[in-house]
Amino acid sequence: MKHLIDIGDLSAAQIVHLLDLTDHMVEINQRPMPKVPALRGKTVVNLFFEDSTRTRTSFDTAARRLSADVMNFAVSSSSVNKGESLRDTIETITAMGVDAFVVRHSSSGAPQQITKWTTASIVNAGDGWHQHPTQALLDCYTIRTNLARPQSFDGLQIGIVGDITHSRVARSNVQAFNALGAHVTLVAPPTLLPPGVSGWPVSVCHRIDDIISTVDVLYLLRMQRERMVDALVPSLREYSAMYGLTPQRAKRLQQHALVMHPGPMNRGVEISVDPSELPGSTILNQVANGVAVRMAVLFELLGSSPDPARDQLEGATNKQEPRAHQ
């Protein structure tokens, strides 16, 4: 793997390999000193053309825990304002010596385009409505560890609820869940379903109540207030009544069912029950797993050891462990 642009580029085996590597990272994160020198001397550049504290901080934390140097670029302070082209920006930063760009951009395809202009690895941290592959990976990891299943998701019923059209999370997750063997049902009003959805490997329905009592995983998407302006939903209150996870609906969930959300939540819109009172809520666990998954991705792209888990992550790096006497 040189880049991570599109979750659809990965085979099921590659996804499982990254999830296995994430296990190691979770273990590192639970140590008293959650830091290993695996990527010491590597430079990771966060290049965010859209605002995102959550995802940027997650990548930042992941890179630091592997001892990489991190540089953060926000658009507002970059030469892009001086009319420099994106290509020149990428080539310039590359010339300074960078090993990976983590890119968020409002245009679908921008991270793919950037791969042509640099020798560094590119990680897509969200491009337009297109892809958000590390979100898909962290969600797969969260399901795998919280449902205590084997590698396969065979037979798993996952409902994704909300604004499918404008959601890179939905597109990425449908691909990843499907690759691992789950069956996905999209739940949304017709105005929030993309035109080509009939070609997707999913079922579609228009009422959350149709799936609430049968899913193993209820995945709620963020309802962006901007959609109201576009008149795609009549009101937030009506959206909440039709598609929100209310206390009444929460009672109808199966006992083992997970409730997931990519954050940040609009409390009172897509979710009007306090997630901390839902036994199946994985929302904060998703955040924690996001750091570990991004550690796994950065390590997979930039780490050099043939047997990374053994050589770089465990033995040589953990100076606190007891050593054999000489």
Minimum distance of a second copy from residue 213's CB (angstroms):
28
Nearer to a second copy (CB atom), residue 60 or residue 127: 60
* Cβ contact 225:206 at 8 Å: no
Question: What is the 8-class DSSP label of residue 12?
Answer: H
Nearer to a second copy (CB atom), residue 77 or residue 198: 77
Nearer to a second copy (CB atom), residue 94 or residue 254: 94
* Cβ contact 219:158 at 8 Å: yes
By the criterion CB under 8 A, which residues form the site for a second copy? 29, 31-35, 40-41, 43, 51-54, 57-58, 60-61, 64, 69, 71, 73-74, 77-79, 81-85, 88-89, 91-97, 225, 263-267, 284-285, 287-288, 290-291, 304
Nearer to a second copy (CB atom), residue 183 or residue 294: 294
Nearer to a second copy (CB atom), residue 114 or residue 193: 114
* Cβ contact 98:45 at 8 Å: yes
Q: Helices in 147-282 by DSSP H: which ranges?
A: 168-179, 226-229, 236-243, 247-252
Minimum distance of a second copy from residue 43's CB (angstroms):
7
- Residue 185 to residues 41, 172, 208, 217, 297, Cα–Cα distance (Å): 44, 14, 10, 10, 28
Minimum distance of a second copy from residue 313's CB (angstroms):
15
Closest CA to 44 of 319, 307, 290, 302: 302
Determine which helix (DSSP H) or strand (DSSP E) holds 84, and give its type and residue range. Answer: none
Minimum distance of a second copy from residue 265's CB (angstroms):
6
Minimum distance of a second copy from residue 312's CB (angstroms):
13
